[in-house]
Structure 1
Amino acid sequence: MTSAVPSVADRTPLASTPLPNARVRRARLRRRAVPYLLLAPALVLFGVFKAYPIVSSMLLSLTGGSGSATHSAGLANYRRLLDDPLFWTALRNTGRILVVQVPVMLALALLLAVGLNAALVRWRTVWRLGVFMPSVTGLVATGVLFAFLLNTDNGAVNKTLAAIGLPAVNWFGSGFWSQMAIVLVLTWHYTGYNAVIYLAGLQGIPKELYEAAMVDGAGPVRRFLSVTLPALRPVVLFTVVLSTIGTLQLFDEPYVLTRGGPDNATLTVSMYLYDNGFRYFDFGYASAIAYALTLLVAVLGAVQMRLMGERE
Structure 2
Amino acid sequence: MSKIYSNRKVIISLVLPGILTFLLAILAPICLSAYYSFTDFSGMGAATFTGLANYKELFQDQGFWISLRNSLLLAVGFICIQHPLAMITAAILDKLQNKAEGIFRCVYFIPNVISVAVIAYLWKFIYNPNFGLLNNILKAFGYTKEINWLGSGMAIWSVLIVLIWHGFGWGMLIYYTGIKNIDPVLYEAAAIDGATGAQSFLRVTLPLMKPVIQVNVTMAIISALKQMETVYLLTNGGPGNQTQFLANYLYKQAFNSFKYGYGNTISVAFILICLMATVLLNRVFKEKND
- TM-score (structure 2 length as normaliser): 0.89
For the pair 1:76 / 2:53, whether they are aligned, the reply is yes
**Counterpart of 2:167 in 1: which secondary structure?**
helix
Query: Structure 2: which 5+ residue stretches go unaligned?
Result: none
RMSD of equivalent CA atoms: 2.1
C-alpha displacement at 1:72, in angstroms?
0.7
C-alpha displacement at 1:256, in angstroms?
0.6
Q: Given residue 101 of structure 2, which amino acid in structure 1 is its aligned partner? A: R
**Counterpart of 2:178 in 1: which secondary structure?**
helix
**2:208 corresponds to:** 231
For the pair 1:94 / 2:67, whether they are aligned, the reply is no
Counterparts of 2:196 and 2:104, CA distance in 1: 26
Bigger Rg, which one:
1
Relative distance call for 1:55 and 1:209 in structure 2 (3 A) is same
Determine which of 55, 59, 62 is the counterpart of 2:31: 55
What CA deviation, in whole Å up to 9, does each residue of 1:49-90 have, x standing for no partner?
A: 222211111111111243335211122211221112221122
**Counterpart of 1:72 in 2: which secondary structure?**
coil
Answer whether contact 2:77 2:164 (CA < 8 A) is retained: no
**1:171 corresponds to:** 149
Q: Given residue 48 of structure 1, which amino acid in structure 2 is its aligned partner? A: L
Count of equivalent residues:
283
What CA deviation, in whole Å up to 9, does each residue of 1:143-174 have, x standing for no partner?
A: 11111121121112222232234565431122
C-alpha displacement at 1:31, in angstroms?
4.5
Q: In the TM superposition, what are the counterparts of 1:151-162 in structure 2 within 5 Å? A: 151-162=128-139
Answer whether contact 2:108 2:169 (CA < 8 A) is retained: yes
Q: In the TM superposition, what are the counterparts of 1:109-258 in structure 2 within 5 Å? A: 109-120=86-97, 122-166=99-143, 168-175=146-153, 177-258=154-235
Q: In the TM superposition, what are the counterparts of 1:257-296 in structure 2 within 5 Å? A: 257-296=234-273
Answer whether contact 1:135 1:189 (CA < 8 A) is retained: yes
**2:289 corresponds to:** 311
**Counterpart of 1:68 in 2: which secondary structure?**
coil
Relative distance call for 1:49 and 1:156 in structure 2 (3 A) is same
Greater CA deviation, 211-220 or 255-264?
211-220
**2:277 corresponds to:** 300
C-alpha displacement at 1:45, in angstroms?
3.1
Answer whether contact 1:105 1:191 (CA < 8 A) is retained: yes
C-alpha displacement at 1:113, in angstroms?
0.6
Answer whether contact 2:41 2:261 (CA < 8 A) is retained: yes
Relative distance call for 1:257 and 1:119 in structure 2 (3 A) is closer
Greater CA deviation, 62-71 or 261-270?
62-71
Query: Structure 1: which 5+ residue stretches go unaligned?
Result: 1-27
Q: Which runs of 4+ in 1 moved over 4 A?
A: none
- TM-score (structure 1 length as normaliser): 0.84
Q: Given residue 282 of structure 1, which amino acid in structure 2 is its aligned partner? A: K
Relative distance call for 1:166 and 1:224 in structure 2 (3 A) is farther
What CA deviation, in whole Å up to 9, does each residue of 1:190-225 have, x standing for no partner?
A: 111111111111111222222222233322222211
Greater CA deviation, 117-126 or 187-196?
117-126
Counterparts of 2:158 and 2:9, CA distance in 1: 56
Identity %: 33
**1:23 corresponds to:** none
Answer whether contact 2:78 2:220 (CA < 8 A) is retained: no
